[in-house]
Structure 1
Amino acid sequence: MSKNPSSSGYQNWLILSHGFNMDGRAASQTITDKIPYLMDAGIQLSVLSAITGSKDRRFFHQQLIAWGPAAFRFDFRHWFANRFGRGVLYKIITPLISIVLSPLILLEKLVWGYSSQWSWAFPAYLAGLRLIRQGKVNLIYSTGGAWSAHLAGLWLKKKTNLPWIVEVHDPLVIRLDETDQGMEIPKEPDAKKRYWLEQQICQHADLVWWFTEGALHYAKKRNPNLGNQSYAKGVMIIPGANPPDVDTVIAQTMHHYGSHLNIAHFGSLADDRSLTQVLAVLPQFFTEYPQARDQIRLHIYGAQLDRKSKEWLNQSPYQDNVIEHGRLEFDPSTGLTGRQRIAIQMQQSDILLLLHGSTEWCREYIPSKLYDYFWTSRPIWGLVYENLQLDTLLSRRESYVSDAKNPEAILNSLKKIYSDWIAKTLPEPSIPAISVEEAVEKILSEVRNSK
């Protein structure tokens, strides 16, 4: 695989992506943002995905139904919502489907114990093999997201020996603490499968990349032959993000200072990535700045509050300071996609909150939402745990950075944010965002230079 893919025999790419064209989903956005640049480079694309996203008409795009009951339930919910909305029919039919499938899902979990989308690998493998035998594919590109795409890519690589490149979104092996290098084979079925799959990728792929320096570092620890002859070349490529098309409305939604300091978080929350890291400093902050009690608003988009935050708020007088907005999806009244609506809300916010988490995994992980944040040129408040790469990316852009495990540092950051907001001197980052075009250029360069 040493020639330019856009001018050699390697210009027909098969993309395996379970969540392709799912509005607002990071696993989708990471690959779909690359598509225009791949096409501009002369790559002829064929895409295999689940039924969860919208059909792409620019190239061959086949949407496949997963074979397992858990995956079918997940995919059906999104397919139905995309086609018919989340109204009364959705609230009636999707629970019925869940009830019918629940015995089979339980059986699937007991027999295999894998995460829900694993079974999508079977139809993806068969459909991919058919395209290869028809002469329509000469390079396989698996991306995820769901590890079923990589499993299908592995099977196709072993069957056809075509070049196989792999994009690993999140580390496949989750380490428990700083002393854990991830060498021990996990006992839990899904974790054990992911551990095995990482080994297979490093051995059989031609090129594999991770999104952070930490993820690449620990992958090399577990797979010391990575980069050697007959093994994959492993690199780090920052995915970046492109701005959604909001030019027609953004002029009416530019940021302005109002009566509330609006701090907005976008994306998922969990017990190990909890809003409580911010909530816990509010009592002390409001003691020092009592007038701020009626000024600060924490807006939560894209997810429900995590369990810990709900419990904390239920026992506090600060429920009015937190506003949950849920997922922003396609709005038929305006024609705006969920991603466009999110971009508008980001633009209107005073501060974009980035919760990194507080577990060992954070050393290998950067929230994908960060690259969307960069496009807004709004100031970011990042609560970072043990990740120098993330710390550096934020600091270069005049962000407020706090140690996620240090309540005093979090409190001091909130004080600084509040005083800057009062003075109307919140920073306006001027460093350019990280574009997807840079990532695609790196991928194409690595493909040209790989074995």
Structure 2
Amino acid sequence: MNHSLRKRVLVISYYWPPAGGVAVQRWLKFVKYLRDFGWEPVVYTPENPEIFYDDHSLVKDIPDGVEVIKRQIWEPYSIYKWITGRKGTKLGLGFANETGKKGRFNGIMVWLRGNLFIPDARIFWVNPSVRFLSRYLHQHPVDAIVTNGPPHSMHLIGLKLKRKYNLPWLADFRDPWTNIDFYNELKLTRLADRYHHRLEKKVVNSADAVLVVSYQMKSEFDSLGGRNIYVLTNGYDTDDIPALSPTATANHFSICYIGTMNRARNPVVLWQALNRLCSINDDFASKLKIRLAGQIDSSVFDAIEAENLGNKFEFLGLLPHGKAMELLGSSQVLLLVVNNTPNAKGIVTGKFFEYLATGKRILAIGPADGDLAQIISETDSGDVIDYSDADGAFQVLTNYFELFNEGNLNPETKGIEKYSRKALTGRLAEILNQITNG
């Protein structure tokens, strides 16, 4: 389609390449395919965001000629790093989420984050962005605005632009706001808690459309009185699949995990089952390999050692996206762990869909009645084990190892095409067309 015939959508996103990690993937892939469905994206993003690591390989997914506007952002993390002597380091999710750490100072930082920086520490970018984008939109009109969070401060930019210009606005929630797993650890005062909830409701009720990534999240936002709430899951990009290696190491029964594994995701029941199986099956013990890549909490290493699995374990650190996909392709079983938190039923991690695209067996630790379990069942892609089901984990692993020795471990998945990034972008374009009366 001719560039001039496409509708224009302003995408406001904190995460953008060269930032690495799962948070950047969703809107990078939407932007990659939006032109195929009649929309020309314009991206607005910070020039100097506080991100955990860079992945320059993702830049290749930005379509040629897409306008990317970058503006300076000031964040209080710089003060935190100066006080703690961590200047020059990357905090990733920031001190806001380091609630597992002890100490009076960290407790003060968490309190400040929750009660003064509402909804998050990027709040100081809201007003400067509204002023800049007001000038930009006057000279370069768009047909719709998209904000995505967390950080949910991005939605406040959309809210203010909506009030000022009455432009169609779509708010995308990759994660919940007040139902996110660490919310109750922010040491909120009653006043701050009410303010968080009031802002959340205002965003959900003011947006012309709200996107969420799971049906549980949809029901939560439905209860806030939101209108036009759509479930648009994360997905996989078929362009990433050729990077997969078909030559898996047949001599090893390798279990692979990629991503963040904090205390709430430490699958102790799995380590126990693996230890039990190693103790009674010498063949399994000789072939088992555990491969972890990403940001892994020390409690995970301790749990692995406690189950005498240290000699089976390989830690690969942070990997570029392409290398991570290659690792998935060379593994036998792909491990997925849902945070053991009250909102677990609604968590469908972004990396699950890339797991799905590999055609490898998926072993998930999480609620058997959650949204993730439903998709795994519908696609016949693997199994879900409850957090405390040691016998279930043992039986599943025993079955997997038998299938591995027979050469039949990979499942015959079905119905995964609807989770391709291009198909999902087509659905996104339909929603954008609806709210712009297209």
Give the shorter-chain TM-score range. Answer: 0.7 to 0.9
Cα distance, 1:237–1:190 mapped onto 2, change above 3 Å: farther
Q: Which amino acid aligns with 2:315?
A: E
Q: Does residue 332 of structure 2 align to residue 342 of structure 1?
A: no
Q: CA separation in 2, counterparts of 1:188 and 1:293?
A: 53
What does residue 412 of structure 2 align with? 429
Q: Does 1:38 align with 2:34?
A: yes
| Structure 2 equivalent of residue 444 of structure 1 | 429
In the alignment, which of 131, 140, 148 is matched to residue 143 of structure 1? 148
How far apart are the structure 1 equivalents of 2:122 and 2:288? Answer: 40
Match of 1:132 in 2: 137
* Native 8 Å contact 1:246 1:340 kept in 2: no
**Counterpart for residue 393 of structure 1:** 375
| 1:170-207 alpha-carbon deviations (Å, 9 max, x no partner) | 1112178xxxxx9xx96478765542332012221101
Corresponding residue for residue 220 of structure 1: 222
Counterpart-to-counterpart distance in 1, 2:212 and 2:352: 16
**Offset of residue 165 of structure 1:** 0.6
Residues 260-269 or 59-68, more deviating: 59-68
Query: C-alpha deviations, 1:228-280, integer Å up to 9, x for none?
Result: xxxxx112112322144464x64xx2133522211000111111111323112
Structure 2 equivalent of residue 363 of structure 1: 345
2:360 maps to: 378
Instruction: Read off the aligned partner of 1:324 and give its amino acid letter.
Output: F
Q: Counterpart of 1:209?
A: 211
Contact 2:115–2:192, Cα closer than 8 Å, also in 1: no
Aligned pair partner of 2:260 in 234, 259, 268? 268
- Partner of residue 308, structure 1: 299
**Rounded Cα–Cα distance in structure 1 between residues aligned with 2:195 and 2:388:** 32
Please give the alpha-carbon distance, in whole angstroms, between the structure 2 residues aligned to 1:136 and 1:283: 61
TM-score of the aligned structures, taking structure 2 as reference length: 0.81
Verify: 1:327 aligned to 2:318, yes or no: yes
CA shift digits 1:301-334 (9 cap, x unpaired): 1122x24323323444221122111101xxxxxx
Measure the CA separation in 2 of the matches of 1:212 and 1:96: 30
Task: Name which of structure 1's ranges 25-34 and 112-121 shifts more when overlaid on structure 2.
Answer: 112-121
One-letter identity of the residue aligned with 1:69:
P
The verdict on how the C-alpha distance between 1:411 and 1:244 changes in structure 2, with shifts beyond 3 A counting, is same
Q: Which residue of 1 aligns with 2:177?
A: 172
After superposing the two structures, state which structure 1 stretch, 372-381 or 49-58, moved more. 49-58
The change in CA–CA distance for 1:41 and 1:271 in structure 2 (over 3 A counts) is: same
Aligned to 2:264, the other structure's residue is in SS state: coil
What letter matches 2:391 in structure 1?
E
Moved more, 439-448 or 191-200: 191-200
After TM superposition, the score normalised by the length of structure 1 is 0.78
CA distance in 2, matches of 1:270, 1:383: 14
Please report how far the alpha carbon of residue 442 of structure 1 lies from its aligned counterpart in structure 2 after TM superposition. Answer: 1.8
Structure 1 partner of 2:247: 255
1:198 aligns with 2:210: no
Match of 2:278 in 1: 286
Is 1:350–1:379's contact at 8 Å kept on the other side of the alignment? yes
Q: Which residue of the partner structure matches residue 28 of structure 1? A: 24
Superimposed CA distance per residue, residues 277-301 of structure 1 (whole angstroms, 9 cap, x where no aligned partner): 3112233222332432232111111
CA gap of 1:111–1:421, structure 2 versus 1, over 3 A, is: closer
What one-letter code is carried by the residue in structure 2 that aligns with 1:391? A
Q: Distance in 1 between matches of 2:65 and 2:194?
A: 38
Q: How many residues align?
A: 398
CA distance in 2, matches of 1:188, 1:278: 39
Q: Is the 8 A contact 1:273 1:357 kept in 2?
A: yes
Shift of 1:156: 1.3
* 1:274–1:110 Cα change, 3 Å: closer
Partner of 1:65: 72
Partner of 1:77: none
> In the alignment, which residue of structure 1 is the partner of 2:116?
112
Unaligned stretches of 5+ in structure 1?
1-5, 75-90, 177-181, 228-232, 329-337
In the other structure, the counterpart of 1:240 is 235
Letter in 2 for 1:278: L
TM-aligned CA deviation for residue 150 of structure 1: 1.0
2:165 maps to: 160
Gap runs ≥5 in structure 2: 92-104
CA distance in 1, matches of 2:368, 2:196: 24
Moved more, 136-145 or 425-434: 425-434
SS of the residue 1:292 aligns to:
helix
